[in-house]
Amino acid sequence: MTSKNLACLAGIAAFVFGLASGSEVAAQNPKIRIGDSAPDWKDLKGTDDRTYSLADFSNKAVVVVCFTCNSCPYSVDYEDRIIAFQKKYADHKDGVAIVAINANKKPSETLEKMKERASSKNFAFPYVLDETQQVADAYGASFTPEFFVLNRERKVVYMGAMDDKTDATQVQHRYLELAVEAALKGEIPEVKEVPARGCAIPYRRSRK
């Protein structure tokens, strides 16, 4: 078994379980449910030396919060898909923002390392550090990458995986895009939750 599989075994298990359990998927998130108000966050340091708060995106109809990191192989694999997503919605008339949040506490996940990653990939979206891990905990995020779609009222209308395949060439269902399109219409997406798959976020303290 490769190191990539070992690192992300828990995420894959959760994904498979979720597909098998159907209506039990909602139980995967320990903190929030579809329709809940999105947890607020403030003054997170970004790789562009700015600080970001959820309120900064008040002019956007939809906000996508993505928990990701530098070192998870699955997060790295998804970077190009996230970049393509941002480009697709960059000029949408109603406004769609994506914010990448790194809550991992490893030497490879410092703000300086994040700056290097953002620069090398030319991220055109905020990449911010959740140094205390409080934001990730409030959202109930467990894996990287993991996505949350917030509508105009900043209610959570989707959470989980970006799509149905870790291999970009095999993707058939783009859950994140479908959720964003529904939110832009003021609707709830047909598929509201798909268990995230990837590397477990290594929380430094016990989660309540």
- What pLDDT shows up at residue 207? 56
Tell me the pLDDT tens digit for each residue of 47-94.
Answer: 999 999 999 999 999 999 999 999 999 999 999 999 999 999 999 999
- What pLDDT shows up at residue 9? 42
| Residue 189 vs residues 50, 51, 152, 172: alpha-carbon distances, Å | 33, 31, 14, 17
Q: Is beta strand 51-52 parallel, antiparallel or unpaired with respect to 96-102?
A: unpaired
| Mean pLDDT for the chain overall | 89
Tell me the pLDDT tens digit for each residue of 102-140.
Answer: 999 999 999 999 999 999 999 999 999 999 999 999 999
pLDDT band at 21 (very low <50, low <70, confident <90, very high): very low
pLDDT band at 3 (very low <50, low <70, confident <90, very high): very low
- What pLDDT shows up at residue 30? 87
Tell me the pLDDT tens digit for each residue of 130-169.
Answer: 999 999 999 999 999 999 999 999 999 999 999 999 999 9
Length of the chain: 208
pLDDT score of 23 more than 50? no
Q: Both tokens of residue 106? A: 């490893």
For the chain, the 3-state helix, strand and coil shares in percent, each to the nearest 5, are 40, 20, 45
Task: For each of the domains in the chain, give its residue range(s) and CATH number, in order of start.
Answer: 3-200 (3.40.30.10)
Q: Whole-model pTM above 0.85?
A: yes
- What pLDDT shows up at residue 203? 94
- What pLDDT shows up at residue 28? 74
